[in-house]
């Protein structure tokens, strides 16, 4: 570490593959048009086409991007040397993975199955078919998160001892029709990103205390979560998530506060504010020896730039340019185990208060 903090020196980008392979996407939902395809075009990845059981829906999206809408799953799977991009609901992951050619590179949309049992089945399929498979926990690759992790690695925060995630949002759940009626929503589909990132920064916790619930104004299973991750007596980690703050932008928030023994960082995750249009991401660091907040000029945003890095790592791993596959199914299973523990904690009865004598 140098004596002077230089925000421009922090790493924010994942290197691109030398010879990117064609991408075949399964699913034609909003996330494909909002993030996957914009990212792949930005990263220079060739898009071979997409498949969705609703061919009209697939054709409409494909025409917008000038790519092929495959009529059958078999046609999509026949593309040679393809990277398969599963932008699909968790309930259909296993069926597609069982049909993907052995040894292929695969990106699986989070979550890795609807629950831990499903994630275990997916892990077994990937092992049996020797798939080089990663889960799309792309928040790890957002420019602000790569910069944060670089700052931590270089010692600018000292030892991280506090991690707070605070969200007060008006999330448009109606954009994802497949969520209607699902028994698990908020942690599995949203806060899983934060739990996964926290695992990367702090490691695996000893356990979790959590409560996840819905809201009287709608019938979604859960849209509000409070959670404390147990890292022992030194590190405090807490999440407060509320997707039902429908009272105007003034007091809405989507932010992390990461504090170390010698410095701190503040982050705004802008895409969740007025999703999918979003607001700018923000990273400010109060580095060791400074006692002032310094803004880090960001080279991109969570959407779509993190998707570029996520795909770049998978492509480079498949081609032998990266030694590590970040968020491989082996590692992602541990994030699913944390999600499962959070739901088990939420379902457990709280300790009752003592009765006054």
Cα Rg, the chain, nearest whole Å: 21
d(CA 21, CA 134): 16
User: 329-347 and 116-128 are packed helices; what angle lies between their axes, rounded to 10 degrees?
Assistant: 170
Answer yes or no: are the C-beta atoms of 148 and 287 closer than 8 Å. Answer: no
CATH 3.40.50.720 placement within the chain: 23-139+308-328
CATH 3.30.360.10 placement within the chain: 142-300
β-strand pairing of 83-86 with 23-26: parallel
- What is the arithmetic mean of pLDDT over 139-150? 98
Count how many Cα atoms sit within 13 Å of the Cα of residue 158 in the half-sphere of its side chain.
14
β-strand pairing of 160-168 with 207-213: unpaired
Is the domain spanning 142-300 CATH 3.30.360.10? The answer is yes
Tokens of 154: 């270089």
Answer yes or no: are the C-beta atoms of 223 and 186 closer than 8 Å. Answer: yes
- Kindly state the percentage of the chain with pLDDT values over 70: 99
Q: What is the pLDDT of residues 301-355, one digit of tens each?
A: 999 999 999 999 999 999 999 999 999 999 999 999 999 999 999 999 999 999 9
**pLDDT-based confidence at 187, cuts 50/70/90?**
very high
Tokens of 140: 């790890």
d(CA 290, CA 5): 8
Answer yes or no: are the C-beta atoms of 142 and 305 closer than 8 Å. Answer: yes
Answer yes or no: are the C-beta atoms of 24 and 49 closer than 8 Å. Answer: yes
CATH of domain 23-139+308-328: 3.40.50.720
Answer yes or no: are the C-beta atoms of 325 and 132 closer than 8 Å. Answer: yes
Count of positions (residues) in the chain: 357
Omega before residue 304 within 30° of 0, cis: yes
Measured between alpha carbons, how far is residue 262 from residues 211, 285, 290 in Å? 32, 11, 9
- For residue 282, pLDDT over 80 is answered with yes
- For residue 290, pLDDT over 60 is answered with yes
Measured between alpha carbons, how far is residue 259 from residues 20, 160, 165, 210, 264 in Å? 38, 6, 12, 22, 4
Task: Assign 3-state DSSP to the chain and report helix, strand, coil percentages, each to 5.
Answer: 35, 20, 40
What count of other Cβ atoms lies within 10 Å of the Cβ of residue 216? 6
Q: What is the pLDDT of residues 73-96, one digit of tens each?
A: 999 999 999 999 999 999 999 999
Name which of 220, 154, 176, 214 is nearest 346 in CA terms: 214
pTM exceeds cut of 0.85: yes
């Amino acid at each position: 570490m140098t004596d002077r903090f230089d925000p421009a020196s922090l790493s924010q980008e994942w290197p691109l593959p030398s010879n990117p392979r064609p991408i075949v996407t399964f699913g034609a939902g909003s996330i494909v048009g909002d993030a996957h395809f914009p990212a792949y075009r930005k990263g220079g990845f060739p898009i071979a086409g997409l498949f969705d059981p609703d061919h009209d829906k697939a054709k409409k999206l494909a025409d917008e991007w000038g790519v092929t809408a495959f009529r059958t799953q078999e046609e999509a799977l026949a593309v040679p040397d393809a990277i398969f991009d599963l932008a699909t609901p968790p309930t259909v992951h296993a069926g597609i993975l069982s049909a993907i050619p052995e040894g292929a590179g695969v990106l699986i949309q989070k979550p890795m199955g609807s629950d831990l049992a499903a994630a275990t089945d997916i892990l077994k399929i990937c092992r049996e078919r020797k798939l080089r498979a990663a889960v799309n926990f792309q928040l790890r690759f957002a420019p602000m998160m790569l910069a944060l992790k670089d700052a931590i690695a270089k010692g600018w925060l000292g030892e991280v001892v506090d991690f707070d995630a605070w969200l007060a949002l008006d999330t448009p759940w109606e954009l994802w029709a497949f969520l209607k009626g699902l028994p698990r929503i908020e942690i599995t589909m949203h806060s899983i990103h934060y739990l996964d990132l926290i695992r990367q920064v702090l490691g695996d916790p000893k356990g979790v205390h959590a409560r996840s619930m819905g809201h009287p104004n709608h019938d979604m299973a859960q849209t509000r979560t409070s959670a404390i991750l147990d890292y022992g007596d030194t590190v405090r980690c807490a999440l407060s998530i509320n997707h039902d703050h429908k009272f105007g932008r003034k007091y809405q928030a989507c932010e992390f506060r990461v504090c170390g023994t010698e410095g701190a960082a503040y982050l705004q995750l802008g895409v969740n504010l007025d999703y999918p249009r979003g607001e700018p991401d923000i990273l400010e660091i109060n580095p060791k020896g400074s006692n002032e907040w310094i803004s880090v000029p960001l080279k991109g945003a969570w959407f779509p730039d993190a998707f570029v890095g996520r795909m770049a790592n998978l492509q480079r791993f498949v081609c032998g340019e990266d030694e590590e596959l970040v968020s491989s199914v082996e590692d992602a299973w541990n994030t699913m185990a944390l999600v499962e523990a959070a739901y088990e904690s939420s379902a457990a009865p709280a300790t009752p208060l003592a009765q006054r004598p």
